[in-house]
A and B are shown apart, each in its own frame.
Chain A
């Protein structure tokens, strides 16, 4: 057992100090509970927020959001796995810089990413790509691209930490037992990091699902076309269609809660 886990439950103690901790914990929990409760407290007329979820434009937004974020998070995973592994295992000049660079999308406001993507696809090669391969700007693929950028940075971060924590000894032993580098990676590295892979996917996916700024900048907010859940919440709220907005908000909150609990359970059950 690792020392940190063996010492779980041991910490600094003292009456005043414990009160300080309790106050922090209480305030943190209260904030989140209020955020959730506020959405449920709306007592307006009409069928209520949840019944608004059945309306066609809302259903479209839900479906669109679910598949674009899933596609973006999966696509990001394909890139993040080798990138994170290289960052974790290779020692090269400028590694710290590359590492920091990949963190930029995490810190950056999503709207900046959106603007940058527009500029990319309005450049010469970007225009060629749009004309010959796929239209991106103000189209659904634009949403996936924007979400991909956001998810990628988070997934690289989570996976790099996981690969760094995995002792290379396992891979070395696998090599000497007959594995090629590919074999060792798929038979040992990936299965040993599977809960981190899941966590990376889920985090990337929720980042993609919750994004507003990047997707709306690249793909616009055309109802029944490029309107994702967060964009629909904004649009409906701005047009005082409170119930539609709230219905989506409650749905997003529920998804977040379910996903977070699921990740906790899955990663706690079996990990090294």
Chain B
């Protein structure tokens, strides 16, 4: 629905050299990247707020690269929502229709949309500044959608809100997007927001899209070390050597799910994929990837806990493992400091990746 091809653009000292990205119709694509990765440049180029040096941007089949913002068919919801303070709630929502001279029939559309967004009772409000943190974004969403955009583009639109409101709005956006079959691009630096709503996540790093995948796959198969670091993949180790499906990491040997032609630079596994084994649980079937380890410490963040374990075979390797209900209540794995337990790194969950995507 949006196709960016070989985009070159510049902002201050930042250069974007040849970014490409394709958004499928009806999907919610999250563009995820750390600050300074080029999110703003990409956003402004797609919106037409910034001239591109080279490359093409298409919305549907239309080449919009040289079109002004108002002719691109994209609705935009910025970070601060930007409701017009001099207009009433209703006038804010119908702004786009008024400007385009298509006010006819707007009321028939407005009622069900407002109902769906839960803002029906706000349509009579004169002052948008009286709206609460959760109401403002919903009004802005109505303003964007009533203009019938081909694509809806949100730039960290909910980031400044309280966590519970943000979560509710994101889920509401997701529901609306699926119900109406909208194509939505959501730009954010937060992997939490991304994992909550995305069909696919495009990871933006240093002006390049380095990976486009569903969220769970990002963690299981990061494209390179930069992605793994940005996603805070808990366990990343340099590969010392190996062949086929075997990889040497320090003094231990790990197995991959399937043989690969040549070892890459790093191995990684998410903390949630590390299996802690109870006493006598060592699976007979699992030949490799089971290691004895000593519990160094357990970190608790609210209800989530992670164990840090040092491998007996190579004390320089520390594994971070999420502690689950099974570990606590069923297996009764001993997790006190100094305890020695077995842990299992399922080969299918172990990923291999280079330092930088070629």
What is the size, in residues, of chain B's interface with A at 8 Å between Cβ atoms?
25
Interface residue from B48, B80, B147 paired with A178 (Cβ < 8 Å): B147
A169 at the interface (CB under 8 A from B): yes
A82 at the interface (CB under 8 A from B): no
Interchain CB contact under 8 A, B49 and A272? no
Interface residue from A170, A177, A180, A272 paired with B96 (Cβ < 8 Å): A177
Q: Report the Cα distance A177→B82, complex, angstroms.
A: 12
Residues on A with C-beta less than 8 A from B75 are 176-177
A179 at the interface (CB under 8 A from B): yes
Most buried by B among A177, A178, A183, A272: A177
Residues on A with C-beta less than 8 A from B76 are 172-173, 176
Q: Report the Cα distance A72→B72, complex, angstroms.
A: 42
B84 at the interface (CB under 8 A from A): yes
B133 at the interface (CB under 8 A from A): no
- Closest residue of chain A to B95 (Cβ to Cβ) is A177
Interchain CB contact under 8 A, B99 and A172? no
A144-195 contacts to B, CB under 8 A, are 167, 169-170, 172-180, 183, 187-188, 191-192, 194
Interface residue from B77, B80, B86, B144 paired with A167 (Cβ < 8 Å): B80
A187-B99 contact given A172-B69, A176-B69, A178-B70, CB 8 Å threshold = yes
Residues on A with C-beta less than 8 A from B86 are 191-192, 194
Interchain CB contact under 8 A, A169 and B80? yes
Interface residue from B48, B68, B82, B100 paired with A173 (Cβ < 8 Å): B82
Interchain CB contact under 8 A, B80 and A176? no
Interchain CB contact under 8 A, A176 and B84? no
Interchain CB contact under 8 A, B74 and A176? yes
Residues on B with C-beta less than 8 A from A183 are 99
- Closest residue of chain A to B78 (Cβ to Cβ) is A169
Q: Report the Cα distance A47→B284, complex, angstroms.
A: 118
A175-B84 contact given A180-B68, A180-B70, A183-B99, CB 8 Å threshold = no
A175-B78 contact given A170-B84, A192-B85, CB 8 Å threshold = no
A176-B82 contact given A183-B99, A187-B99, CB 8 Å threshold = no
Most buried by B among A172, A183, A188, A194: A172
Q: Can you name 29 A-B residue pairings with CB atoms under 8 Å? A: A167-B80, A167-B82, A169-B79, A169-B82, A170-B82, A170-B84, A172-B49, A172-B82, A175-B69, A176-B47, A176-B70, A176-B72, A177-B70, A177-B75, A177-B95, A177-B99, A177-B143, A177-B144, A178-B96, A178-B99, A178-B100, A179-B70, A179-B99, A180-B68, A187-B99, A191-B86, A192-B85, A192-B86, A194-B86
- Which 4 A-B pairs rank lowest in CB-CB distance, beginning with the nearest? A177-B96, A175-B69, A178-B99, A176-B76
Q: Which residues of A come within 8 Å of B, CB atoms?
A: 167, 169-170, 172-180, 183, 187-188, 191-192, 194, 272
